[in-house]
């Protein structure tokens, strides 16, 4: 999943591979956080129509794996985050997981990568962090026990594992994980000849500092924008390379200069909320087409720190997923709508010339929205679920819901939808600056139409642009 690169705002291979199997490969992340997604069999056909060569799933869903039989797709499966602690201390449990989730499908399916958890450092309590590498070792041992040798074991990391990323040559892992998590993990990856699986989203640092980081630099479109690292002397022409190289330098700093990098997730949102700049179909298509073109180019381009090296890459994601939490961009990374229709044309093989694609819509959100935004109950939502969300919003903050109490200026009309809309707006206005979102488990939506009436004035978020 996409993780904002907020702690690294100032901007910011890979050894030659004898195995042709992973050279110049581009794949797709197949997330399942939607209540309106096509069946696994139909989804696999759509994946093939995109000319993907890898598919990564976030579990070991047997319906999806069965649908992948008799295809040539390389497959990445995942041990769920919540099993890591138990597996780390129990070899029998690791054996059971592999026996249940891998053996029925291997080698008929080209399972080539097994990730132990997803962005563990970003998304779990730190007690799980220290179980990560022991769990990876046990899973690797289980694979060997069952005679499975072609599957690389790793875990995906977001950019927030870094304490410093700018300049790239100063890439450094966070002090709280460098010695206890990252060093043993790198030792494991080095010993097993696996990959450092990295999630890289230039959208987030750009959108957080769009004044200083130029959009073209984030989209691989810059013709004359470069950054020279004052220490390494390396010259950068795009933000993606800076981000990847900062991790490469961080690994080198811990004594592991040669571990191969695999881009487990990258992409650009095709839509978002009013307060999210640059999330549109035009930019998403430009970014993803450019990254595919770059990763499939022959000879390989690599990055400034590792020129000419292959960098396998998996685009996020197959679908817009309507059950993902957080801000609007989280639900708008798909190459396809849930109907299966393309959000924009893509060829993950990189063989379709840009001129063959239909013209893209104009990018209408590249400048920050200026004005007021409210947060209200969304259309067609389950109103019985709104009751709990209203209660939650009113239990937070300082007199969040005072005006909708009996006798208050917003009590009438005594309507659940009106009261909840006021509560959502009031909550969001108070807590947006510290991470509060207008989402409420999919029950809320942003609007630029003032829902205030009479003496009832709804709180709003005001953006200055």
Which of 326, 356, 386 is where one domain is finished? 356
119 is catalytic: yes
Residues 195 and 244 in one domain: yes
Q: Residues 21, 82, 221, 265: which is the catalytic one? A: 265
Q: Are residues 142 and 34 in the same domain?
A: yes
Which of helix, strand or coil describes residue 115? strand
> Per the domain annotation, does 361 fall within a domain?
no
- Within-domain flag for 366: no
Do 37 and 172 share a domain, yes or no? yes
Which pair of tokens denotes residue 321?
């997923």
pLDDT at 51: 96
* Cα distance between residue 423 and residue 414, in whole Å: 13
Structural domain contains residue 206 = yes
Is there a single domain that holds both residue 410 and residue 302? no
Domain containing 417 — which CATH number? 1.20.58.1040
Q: How many C-beta atoms lie closer than 10 Å to residue 174's C-beta?
A: 16
**pLDDT tens, position by position, 347-387:** 999 999 989 999 999 998 898 888 999 999 998 888 999 99
CATH code for the domain in which residue 236 is found: 3.20.20.80
The reply to whether 330 belongs to the active site is no
Q: Tell me how crowded residue 244 is: count the other CB atoms within 10 A of its CB.
A: 27
HEC sequence for 330-394: HHCCCCECCCCCECCCCCCCCCCCHHHCCCCCCCCCCCCCCEEEEEEECCCCCHHHHHHHHHHHH
pLDDT at 1: 53
Q: Residues 332, 379: one domain?
A: no
- Same-domain status, 313 and 398: no
Distance CA 238, CA 11 (A): 10
Burial of 239 (0-12, 13-18, 19+ CB in 10 A): buried
* Cβ atoms within 10 Å, residue 175: 9
Would 326 be classed as within a structural domain? yes
Residue the block writes with tokens 């996020």: 316
Is there a single domain that holds both residue 327 and residue 457?
no
Chosen domain end from 356, 381, 403 = 356
Other C-beta atoms lying within 10 Å of the C-beta of residue 119? 23
Q: For residues 297 and 313, what is the distance between their CA atoms, to the nearest angstrom?
A: 13
Residues of the chain short of pLDDT 70, as ranges, are: 1-23, 465
Asked if residue 35 and residue 184 are part of one domain, the reply reads yes
**363 within some domain:** no
By residue range, what is the domain housing residue 382?
Answer: 371-463
Q: Looking at the structure, do residues 378 and 292 belong to the same domain, yes or no?
A: no
pLDDT digits (tens, 9 = 90+) for 398-434: 788 999 999 999 999 999 999 999 999 999 999 988 8
Q: How many domains does the chain have?
A: 2
> 324 and 331 in contact (C-beta within 8 Å)?
yes
Tally the residues of the chain.
465
Q: What is the pLDDT of residue 239?
A: 97
Q: Which two tokens stand for residue 265?
A: 């997730």
Q: Which of 21, 82, 119, 354 is catalytic?
A: 119
Q: Is residue 404 part of a domain?
A: yes
CA distance 226 to 16: 26
Per-residue confidence (pLDDT) for residue 6, from 0 to 100: 43
What is the pTM assigned to this prediction? 0.89
């Amino acid at each position: 999943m996409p993780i904002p690169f907020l702690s690294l705002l100032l901007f910011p291979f890979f050894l030659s591979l004898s195995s042709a199997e992973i050279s110049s490969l581009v794949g797709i992340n197949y997330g399942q956080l939607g209540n309106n997604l096509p069946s696994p069999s139909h989804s696999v056909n759509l994946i093939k129509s995109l000319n993907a060569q890898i598919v990564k799933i976030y579990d070991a869903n047997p319906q999806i794996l069965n649908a992948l039989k008799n295809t040539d797709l390389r497959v990445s499966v995942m041990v769920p985050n919540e099993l890591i602690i138990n597996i780390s201390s129990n070899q029998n449990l690791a054996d059971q997981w592999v026996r249940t989730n891998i053996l029925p499908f291997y080698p008929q399916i080209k399972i080539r990568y097994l990730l132990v958890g997803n962005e563990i450092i970003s998304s779990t309590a730190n007690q799980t962090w220290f179980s990560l590498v022991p769990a990876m070792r046990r899973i690797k041992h289980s694979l060997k026990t069952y005679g499975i040798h072609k599957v690389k074991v790793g875990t995906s990391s977001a950019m927030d594992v870094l304490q410093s990323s700018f300049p790239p040559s100063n890439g450094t892992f966070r002090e709280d994980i460098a010695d206890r998590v990252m060093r043993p993990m790198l030792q494991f990856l080095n010993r097993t000849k696996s990959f450092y699986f990295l999630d890289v989203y230039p959208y987030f640092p750009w959108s957080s500092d769009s004044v200083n980081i130029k959009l073209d630099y984030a989209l691989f479109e810059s013709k004359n924008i470069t950054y020279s690292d004052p220490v390494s002397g390396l010259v950068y022409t795009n933000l993606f390379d800076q981000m990847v190289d900062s991790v490469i330098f961080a690994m080198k700093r811990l004594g592991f200069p040669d571990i191969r990098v695999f881009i487990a997730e990258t992409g650009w949102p095709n839509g978002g909320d009013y307060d999210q700049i640059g999330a549109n179909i035009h930019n998403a298509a430009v970014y993803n087409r450019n990254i595919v073109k770059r990763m499939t180019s022959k000879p390989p381009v690599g990055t400034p720190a590792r020129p000419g090296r292959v960098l396998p890459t998996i685009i996020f994601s197959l679908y817009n997923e309507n059950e993902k939490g957080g801000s609007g961009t989280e639900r708008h990374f798909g190459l396809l709508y849930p109907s299966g229709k393309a959000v924009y044309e893509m060829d993950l093989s990189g063989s379709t010339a840009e001129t063959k694609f239909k013209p893209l819509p104009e990018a209408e959100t590249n400048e920050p929205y200026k004005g007021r935004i409210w947060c209200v109950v969304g259309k067609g939502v389950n109103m019985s679920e709104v009751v709990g969300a209203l209660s939650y919003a009113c239990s937070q903050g300082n007199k969040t819901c005072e005006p909708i109490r009996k006798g208050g200026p917003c009590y009438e009309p005594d309507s659940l939808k009106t009261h909840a809309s006021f509560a959502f707006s009031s909550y969001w206005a108070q807590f947006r600056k510290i991470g509060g979102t207008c989402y409420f488990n999919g029950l809320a939506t942003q609007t630029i139409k003032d829902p205030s009436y009479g003496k009832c004035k709804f709180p709003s978020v005001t953006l200055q642009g």
